[in-house]
Amino acid sequence: MKKEFLDLGRQPIANKFLNKNEFNDEFFFDLKVVFDDKTKLVSLKNFVKPEMMFNESYAYHASMSETMKIHFQDLAENIQNEFFPTNVLEIGSNDGIFIRHFNPDTSVAVEPCENFADIVKDMEYKTYAKFWTKELSSLIKQEHGTMDLIYAANCICHIQDLDDAFLAVKNLLSEDGIFVFEDPSLLRMMERGSYDQLYDEHAHIFSVTALSNLLDKHGLEIFRVDNLNVHGGSNRIYVKSIDSDIPVEMSVQMNLNEEKNFGLTRFKTYEIFSNRVQKSRDELLSMLRTLKEEGKKVIAYGAASKVTTVFNYCGIDDSLVEYITDTTPSKIGKCQPGTHIPIVSPDDGFDETVDVAYLGAWNFRTEIMNKETDYLSRGGKFITHVPQVMMFS
Ligand code: TMP
């Protein structure tokens, strides 16, 4: 049975940055979150149609971050050195940040957002601008054979029908092939109070426990789990066919134990989390109102999709946060979904008039702190709500 534990109010499409003439037609949905006490999966109660989120105007551009470029290069090298895959498939290849490290003659990309599919096509990779389904996996099998590596980053948690997605993987995996995917970790979200991992695209936030239950149904088994720092704490899950001889490593049981000890298998833990989220909202609003009364100029740094959840849930608009700076060209000049706070380039907006910046891209905190030494040394401050609402410099 699915039980609701969190209500984050009316929310827009988190990555649909708007021009002024689009404000009136904006789509909103009720962002509620449920826990399935049978599979232990945490999901959104109401899914948004995939075509509304993942299309030719999708804004998330993975290569915008140096941290992520290094992250994917390291992973590609490690996988090549350990598993020697020949046929490679990436589901959700975005701008090619990972697949670019593999041979175009033996690699295939799947990317439903046409703006990004075109980039990968231009890099000479065979690219299917389609959603990942059993039907597509059969077509790819026919045209390219089975795959030794199927990889997906921040994509499987977007897929609403996980049974179909895992069936599609099983169908296409070679005998000793591996399926590696990484997505935000439910445990880290719960520990850090980072409720902003919840937005339209994240149909599910995975625990290792829930994934193990779901994969098992399709003859798939987790053999390794890496805990990663990216995206506010993610898990990289290594999966094999149940019949493959690849040994199951200790990291799997260790993660299952850690999740159980934290309480991820009990509904009560989610109710406690919900209370923490409400407290976080009250504290953030109170801090921003005080800064306003003191006459401080407050902006936000990084128009991440996560900020859409926070600002819409808390009711923060341009009376509290003047604008948001972001380096992504397709976001600059537009407005944040829901709140309609303007997005500007850091070159124009991150200047000496800024007193305080809400760190929207808190998952890139180290990269940003290293970059913004001038701001910090002149007394500029940052605000975050993770793990609790605080100001720091
Ligand atoms: P993400 O957390 O969904 O990856 O989004 C992070 C956003 O923050 C993305 O739009 C790029 C932006 N950003 C900056 O504007 N400046 C930076 O230094 C970094 C690291 C990210």
Encode pLDDT of 237-247 as tens digits.
999 999 999 99
Residue 231: per-residue pLDDT: 87
Would strands 173-184 and 234-241 be described as parallel, antiparallel, or unpaired?
A: antiparallel
Q: Which amino acid is at 78?
A: N
The predicted structure's pLDDT at residue 78: 98
User: Of the ranges 22-36, 55-69, 131-145, 359-373, which one carries the lowest mean pLDDT score?
Assistant: 55-69
Distance 60 CA to ligand 1 centre (A): 9
d(CA 68, ligand 1 centre) in Å: 10
Rounded CA gap, 68 and 361, in Å? 13
Q: Report the separation in Å between the CA atom of 105 and the middle of ligand 1, taken as the mean of its atom positions.
A: 32
The pLDDT of residue 283 is above 90: yes
What are the start-end ranges of the E strands in the chain?
Answer: 2-12, 28-36, 42-44, 88-91, 107-110, 126-128, 147-153, 173-184, 204-205, 220-228, 234-241, 298-301, 324-325, 343-344, 356-359, 381-384, 390-392
Tokens 């499987």 belong to 156
Query: Per-residue confidence at 60, pLDDT binned at 50, 70, 90?
Result: confident
Check whether 59 has a pLDDT greater than 90: no
Secondary element (H or E) of residue 216: helix 208-216
pLDDT digits 0-9 by tens, 245-273 = 999 999 999 999 999 999 999 999 999 99
pLDDT mean over 332-341: 98
Evaluate if residue 220 carries a pLDDT over 90.
yes
Ligand 1 pocket residue status of 153, Cβ below 6 Å = no
pLDDT at 307: 98
Q: Which residues contact 126 (CB under 8 A, 6 or more apart)?
A: 104, 107, 108, 109, 144
Does residue 361 have its Cβ closer than 6 Å to ligand 1?
Answer: yes
**Residue 276 DSSP SS3:** helix
* 168 Rama sector, left if φ>0, alpha if ψ -120 to 50, beta otherwise: alpha
Residue-by-residue DSSP string for 24-50: GG--EEEEEEEEETTT--EEESSPPPH
Chain-centroid distance of CA 251 in Å reads: 23
